Amino acid sequence: MVNSPIIRLAPLNVPFERRIQTAATALWLVSLPLTILIFFISCTIIFLWPLIIPYLLFILFDIAPENGGRRYEFARRAKFWKWYSDYFPAKLIKQVDLDPSKNYVFGNHPHGVISVGGWITFATESTGFSELFPGITCRMLTLTTNFNIPLYRDYLMAQGLASVSRQSCMNILRRGPGHSVMIVVGGAGESLSARPGINDLILKKRLGFIKIAIVSGASLCPVFSFGENDIWDQADNPEGSKLWRFQKSVQKLSGWTLPLFHGRGIFNLGKPIDVVQNDNPTEEQLLEVQKKYIAELYEIWDNYKDIYAKNRKRELTLIE
């Protein structure tokens, strides 16, 4: 007897609102290739060249990604993002109020395949970040190379994204009270470990974001996205396998990873960890602050895991 695969089609009676939510999510997923396609099609239209050539020259000298980008509230508050957020659905839970007279470095965990939780919470207002934390202007940070991609770079900056370089972080944090940054601490490498029911974090060797907080005098605030790794599964890629080696090669060349994923979240902001400003912190001081940060992250996990991670296969684990 031969077992044939079962093809499951979406039912015809799906509510219209749910269809809109699904369409919004799908459109977000293809935002990178879509903007690239639009740009290349534009390049084939000769009468647009007088606009395209100056635009490309402008990109070469544009320093906005290193200085907080070009954030537009109308873009962040668009109805589109509410549809996108409600697809999962997403909810932001705060544990304490944040003092708007201070600056913050938010560390987001886990990375997941493509950091859905980080985007929803910090690149849009769909879960009400500004209402929950008035006076805090936070910019989500991403790879500098993303700002070399025509049109896509402008889309990212409109949502409030900026470069994750050290200089960018310092420029934003020195803007004044309330100006803060969000860093997906695990980075692209952590995305290769994203699996449903598993929350393996790359954190032990990540001291750069802690140093930025100490040098700038900003408080550290851990964020945990429950359900981030449950959104998609991905192809098996055990360390040392051909697929794993290929993915790591892509990461070294471009800074991106290439998870082969196939297919809901709650985002918790923990209590901030105040630091003593120091222009030249020692490694011992960095490790001391890291220890406090990890303890607060585990507290978030322990407080909410039985509510939002009921189907976990193992406990929160630091793998690096």
Distances in whole angstroms, Cα of residue 221 to Cα of each of 15, 122, 231 = 38, 13, 24
- How many separate helices (H) and strands (E) can be counted in the chain? 13, 11
CA distance readout (Å), 23 to 29, 91, 262: 10, 20, 17
**Tens digits of residue pLDDT in 214-256:** 999 999 999 999 988 888 765 555 566 655 565 556 556 555 4
Residue 5, pLDDT > 50, answer no
| pLDDT of the residue at 301 | 93
Q: Are strands 200-201 and 104-109 parallel, antiparallel or unpaired?
A: unpaired
Q: Note the pLDDT tens digit of each residue in 44-54.
A: 999 999 999 99
Q: What is the pLDDT of residue 258?
A: 44
Higher-confidence position of 23 and 190 = 23
For the stretch 89-147, pLDDT in tens is 889 998 899 999 999 999 999 988 888 999 999 999 999 999 999 999 999 999 999 99
Give the span between the Cα atoms of 67 and 64, in whole angstroms.
Answer: 5
Mean pLDDT across 81-85: 95
pLDDT value, residue 245: 63
Angle between helices 49-61 and 31-43 (to 10 degrees): 130
Query: Residue 198 in 3-state DSSP?
Result: strand
Q: Are strands 265-269 and 261-262 parallel, antiparallel or unpaired?
A: unpaired
pLDDT at 320: 82
Whether the link from the prior residue into 259 is cis, omega within 30° of 0, is: no
Q: Outline where DSSP puts E strands in 145-242.
A: 162-163, 179-184, 200-201, 219-226, 233-234
Burial of 264 (0-12, 13-18, 19+ CB in 10 A): middle
Buried-state track 135-170, b at ≥16 Cβ within 10 A, e below 16: ebbbbbbbebebbebbbbbbbbbbbbbbbbeeebbb
Query: What tens digit of pLDDT does each residue of 276-314 get?
Result: 999 999 999 999 999 999 999 999 999 999 988 888 889
Tokens standing for 5? Answer: 């695969």
Task: Assign 238 to helix, strand or coil.
Answer: coil
pTM here?
A: 0.87
What does the pLDDT read at residue 311? 86
pLDDT attached to residue 267: 67
Q: Taking the mean position of all CA atoms in its chain, how far away is CA 180?
A: 15
In this predicted structure, the answer to whether residue 263 has a pLDDT above a threshold of 50 is no
β-pair partners for 116 = none
Mean pLDDT of the chain: 87
How far is the C-alpha of 267 from the C-alpha of 273, rounded, in Å?
18
Could you give the CA distance from residue 226 to residue 211 in angstroms, rounded to a whole number? 26
- Rounded Cα gap, residues 78 and 126, in angstroms: 8
The whole-number pLDDT of residue 233 equals: 66
Handedness of CA 84, 88, 89, 91 (dihedral sign): negative
pLDDT of residue 118: 92
Contact 82, 126 (CB under 8 A): yes
